[in-house]
Structure formats: C-alpha cells, structure tokens
Amino acid sequence: MTDDHRDVPLGTSGRAGRGSQGGTTPSSAARSLAGGAARPPRRPGEPAAGTGAGRPRLHAVPDDATAEPPPTSHHSGPQEPPPTGLPLDEVLTAVVAAAQRVLGDDWEARLARMLATLRRRLSGDYEVDDFGHDPEVAELLVQVLEPLAEKWFRLEVRGVHNIPAEGGALLVGNHSGTVPIDGLITSYAVHRYAQRTLRPLAADLVFALPFVGETARKFGATLACTEDAERLLGRGELAAVWPEGFKGVGKPFSERYKLQRFGRGGFVSSAMRAQVPIVPVSIVGAEEIYPLVGNLPSLARLLGLPYLPITPFFPWLGLLGLVPLPSKWIIEFGEPVRTDAYAPEAADDPMLLFNVTDQVRETIQQTLYGLLVDRGGAFF
C-alpha cells in the first residue's frame, strides 16, 4: 500500500453518470450490464430519453420466453359482413330430408300422384259405389296414414296369410283407444300388406258427425247393420266389425286389454248367412295412445256423445292434447273360423251364435295376452 491510499465512499468520485447530471446518458458498459443494447447518442431535435415522446409502449413479457406473438390477420382488404336473412339452401335441404323420412325415398313420385289425383277430383272426374266408397279417396287416406302407422306407431303386422286373397270374409277385432283410430290403422294394414280394401262397419254416430261421416263413407265404411253387412259379404268384400263398440273404446285405462261384451252375436249371424269365414283380429297399442283417466258424462249427454274423455293431456293442453302417444302397435290376423260348415239357417240358433261369438272373443283375448308379452314396453 502507498501513502496515497484512502477510503473513498461509493458514488462520490469518478466520472459523473446518469443521475448526477440530468441529460447525460449512461455509459455503454452500464447498459450492457442491464441487458440492453447501447443507446446511440441523441440527435439534435430528438426528444430526450424519459420524456415519453416517441417512446415505444411497453408490454408485459410472459415468463415463457418462447411465447408466440398474437396472430395477425392475413386479409389485407376489408372483410365482408356476415350474411343476413334465411339460408334458403339449408331450408330446402331440410324440407327434402323431412319429405324423405315421412313419404319415403320415392316421395317426389308419390307427391306428384297425390297432386294429380287432387286436380282430377276438383274437375269432378271420379266415381263412387252404391255405399259411397270412393277408391281414390281411400288410396289417398292410406298414404296419409302410412307415416302415422309406420313411423309413429312402428306397426308390426302378423298373420297376413290368414286374410283370404279373394272372396268375402268378416274381420272381427277388439276396440280401444278413446278415439277409434284402431279401425283406421286396421284398414291401412289390410290395404298395405294384403292388397285388399277393407269395408268397416261403423256405428250410427260416425255418420251423424259433419265431415266425418262423409269421409268415412268415401274411405269405405258403411253402417253397422245386418243388411249392409250381408250385402258386402255376399258380393265378396272384406268387412270388419268391432263388437265392443263404444264400451270398448271408452273404457278406462285401468281396464286396458280386458275385452267387453261382444253383443248378441249379430256379426256371427251375418257371416253364417253369407257363408264366409270370420278372421279374429287382435290389436295391441291402441290402448296407450289416449290413456282415459276420467269422463264428463253430463257434458257428454248434453253434446250427444257416448262419453267425453279426460286424458293426461286433454283438455289441459288444448289441441296439442289430441296428438296420440307413440305407442308400439302389433296387429295379428288369427286363423279363420269357418262358418260354411253350418247351414245358413243355423244363423237363427241363438245358442250356436253365442258359442261361436264366445269362441272368437276368447281367441282374441288370449292372443292379446301373448302379444303384450312379445311387445314388452308400450313405448320402447
């Protein structure tokens, strides 16, 4: 050590740096220690450091030094506004897809036939038989019923071979459903799977209702009387009857699939006189479409109806409550009961009529029990 050695406090000696005199710039060595590049000397007219003018804005730097910069748009020009209004192409595609689901893959041809039939009918070019049956209206109604039967009710038909390919026969079925849709679906099944026209024998009330009665006759229905039944059967038609009548259609849901009385055997008498077979028809599925949980008998009598139903959805939901529930349907046409083994005069024997009626009823009841087991859940 030399005598010149003396303790010098830090920061009190040496060349003045930034902070000792305003306006002076730190040395390049100091800037390199801070991790930044050396700042070039300020040019004349350039704002001084720290004044904020011309200074780039600082951004927070993430801890990850490899973070990518925010994406930039590749479009240099102005962007087009999003389209407004209905997407007509998408709407058209949805309509076509819906038509295919409801009417089938040949929906265009079927729709064209329906429109052609409508044009011809508007011109008055059509014929009906002496019962009022209009084959074109019947064909049109069958096409309308097809989506309901096949898509909504998922109809399964059994025993079609028991329906005679030609000649007369009397189909006898159980009746249910609060609204007699089972008659319509049975007519559809015979037309669709047996390629024959069914002539339902309907109650007086059906033909007393406006529009309903006229449509029913055009569809092929006629009055459920002995004279009409024997005329139809005698000329080789397929007739159908539901002997339970309104007692079967209007029974409460708690009594579903329990057959009511089949009357006095009038349908057996007609079949014997015409010497045609009786085909038992068992229908599973109609009981669940409108579960009958109540009735308004006083109001029904006032309106001239056999009953006024209350279901879980009607009248609470208005017209929406009239939509039938999508139950699974099975219709089975049983083995024919021959009547030609008896003479036509046997139709006057009340005991014989009772025995044959009971045989048909018991056949349908036992078949219903078996179909319920095969079907399982009503809606699955």
Q: Express each pLDDT in 159-208 by its tens digit.
A: 999 999 999 999 999 999 888 899 999 999 999 999 999 999 998 888 88
CATH of 132-289+324-375, one of 3.90.79.10, 3.30.1360.120, 3.40.50.620, 3.40.1130.10: 3.40.1130.10
Report the alpha-carbon distance of residue 247 to residue 252 in Å, rounded. 10
Location of each CATH 3.40.1130.10 domain in the chain: 132-289+324-375
Please name the amino acid found at residue 233.
L
* Average pLDDT score, the chain: 80
**Is there a cis peptide before residue 9, judged by omega within 30 degrees of 0?**
no
Q: Phi and psi dihedrals of 159, rounded to 5?
A: 70, 30
Q: How confident is the model at residue 331 (pLDDT cuts 50, 70, 90)?
A: very high
Contacts of 100 (CB under 8 A, 6+ apart): 107
Beta-carbon neighbour count of residue 86 at 10 Å?
8
- Does residue 242 have a pLDDT over 80? yes
Please name the amino acid found at residue 91.
V
Supply the pLDDT for residue 84. Answer: 57
Contact 160, 333 (CB under 8 A): yes
* Lowest mean per-residue pLDDT among 54-68, 69-83, 130-144, 334-348: 54-68
Report the alpha-carbon distance of residue 212 to residue 224 in Å, rounded. 16
Q: What's the mean pLDDT in 250-263?
A: 90
Q: How confident is the model at residue 19 (pLDDT cuts 50, 70, 90)?
A: very low
- Does residue 67 have a pLDDT over 60? no
Report the alpha-carbon distance of residue 379 to residue 289 in Å, rounded. 10
pLDDT digits (tens, 9 = 90+) for 337-346: 999 989 999 9
Supply the pLDDT for residue 76. Answer: 52
Supply the pLDDT for residue 180. Answer: 87
More confident residue, 167 or 264: 167
- Does residue 10 have a pLDDT over 50? no
Q: What's the mean pLDDT in 86-110?
A: 67
Q: What's the mean pLDDT in 252-268?
A: 91
Cα torsion through 106, 112, 117, 120, rounded to 10: -160
- Does residue 315 have a pLDDT over 90? no
Report the alpha-carbon distance of residue 330 to residue 257 in Å, rounded. 13
Report the alpha-carbon distance of residue 160 to residue 313 in Å, rounded. 35
- Does residue 69 have a pLDDT over 80? no
- Does residue 22 have a pLDDT over 50? no
Pull the structure tokens for residue 251.
């029974």
Supply the pLDDT for residue 209. Answer: 83
Q: How confident is the model at residue 109 (pLDDT cuts 50, 70, 90)?
A: confident
Contact 197, 135 (CB under 8 A): yes
The pTM (predicted TM-score) of the whole model is 0.69
Report the alpha-carbon distance of residue 356 to residue 24 in Å, rounded. 124
More confident residue, 42 or 341: 341
- Does residue 24 have a pLDDT over 60? no
Q: Is residue 295 within a helix (H) or strand (E), and if so which, with residue range?
A: strand 294-295
Report the alpha-carbon distance of residue 315 to residue 338 in Å, rounded. 45
Supply the pLDDT for residue 111. Answer: 76
Measured on CA atoms in the order 342, 344, 345, 351, is the torsion positive or negative?
A: positive
More confident residue, 215 or 307: 215
Buried b / exposed e over 165-183, threshold 16 CB at 10 Å, is eeebbbbbbbbbbbbbbbb
